[in-house]
Amino acid sequence: MEQKKEPLLEIRDLSVSFRMYSRGLKQTDLRVISDLDFTARSGEITAIAGASGSGKSLLSSAVLGILPDNASVCGRIYYKGRELTPDLQKKLRGTEIALVPQSVAYLDPLMKTGEQADGHRKPRPTEKREKLFRRLGLPEQTEYLYPFQLSGGMARRILVSSALLTDAQLIIADEPTPGMSLEQALEALKLFREMADSGSAVVLITHDIDLAFEFADRISVFYAGTTVETAPASDFRKGPDALRHPYSRALWRALPQNGFQPLDGFQPYAGALPEGCLFAPRCPHRTEKCTVQVPPSREVRGGEVRCYYGA
């Protein structure tokens, strides 16, 4: 039995809803994350895979405490065993927890990229940044460019370096690789690997499942705002028989190299979530029990699965 590494971030039964005005002054709560469990361990890369709208990016906002004002959060988040309160989040943002956001829109359009990568903290890590930029294949003088002069891949590499320049122990990277060439993406992931090997926990939110299989230690599969399965990456490399949840298996089979078989139906929208298991309407193995009550999270063969029948 492999020794379990210490959990750095532990999320239990997290739900996030947005208060909205539906018609006139009538308020409704739109639940976008429900009963989500997630763990990130020091020294590991944990990938989060799932379709668009499955709540991947919102999870990072919830951990950092930067959700919009109309969001309400319930559930528990622990960081190093301590409950992650708004005050603690404020203290840890940018120092112990770093975010790699998704797109060039997260860069200030009127600030030079070098200054942005350095961030607002003093002293500026200029030398370290120059080395990092070169390693990521960013040409000289990139630090003097403005975001509108960058390609998508360059912008992403700058966002990646902004997180790598901190001494963060938890790095949440939200789709860091699209737009990069394969070598650049590999280099970026290698850097994340090095961060993890030096003791940080890296959370890799990604659509690029192949790369996640390759670089991650564990993979969490998201569906409609909840985690359906968390398993070692090796299980995903082995194939569907090693997996525990019908959705993870369907995801595996939908990959081009594994048969390219799509699953019928679509992910339910927030606001129209089914009772019980969120995957039940599309599940080939569902029983009456699944449509009534949400299955609890269970440990199965070194992974976690939220299914009555996962084995």
Is there a contact between 274 and 280 (Cβ–Cβ < 8 Å)? Answer: yes
List the one residue from 107, 154, 171, 191 that touches another protein (CB under 8 A): 107
List the one residue from 5, 53, 57, 106 that touches another protein (CB under 8 A): 106
**Residue 111 carries which DSSP code?**
S
Nearer to another protein, 65 or 268 (CB): 65
- Structure tokens of 205? 């939110």
List the one residue from 66, 261, 266, 285 that touches another protein (CB under 8 A): 66
- Least distance in angstroms from the C-beta of 66 to another protein: 5
Number of residues that bind another protein (CB under 8 A): 26
173 binds another protein (CB under 8 A): no
Per CB under 8 A, the segment of 89-97, 196-204, 223-231, 241-249 that binds another protein is: 89-97
Nearer to another protein, 106 or 309 (CB): 106
Is there a contact between 63 and 71 (Cβ–Cβ < 8 Å)? Answer: no
| Opening angle at CA 85, ends 42 and 28, nearest 5 | 115
Burial class (CB in 10 A: 0-12, 13-18, 19+), 105: exposed
3-state SS class at 282: helix
120 binds another protein (CB under 8 A): yes
122 binds another protein (CB under 8 A): no
Is there a contact between 138 and 167 (Cβ–Cβ < 8 Å)? Answer: no
**DSSP codes of every residue in 155-172:** HHHHHHHHHHTS--SEEE
Query: What does the binding site for another protein look like in residue numbers (CB under 8 A)?
Result: 61, 64, 66, 90, 92-95, 98-99, 101, 103, 105-111, 119-121, 146, 148-149, 162
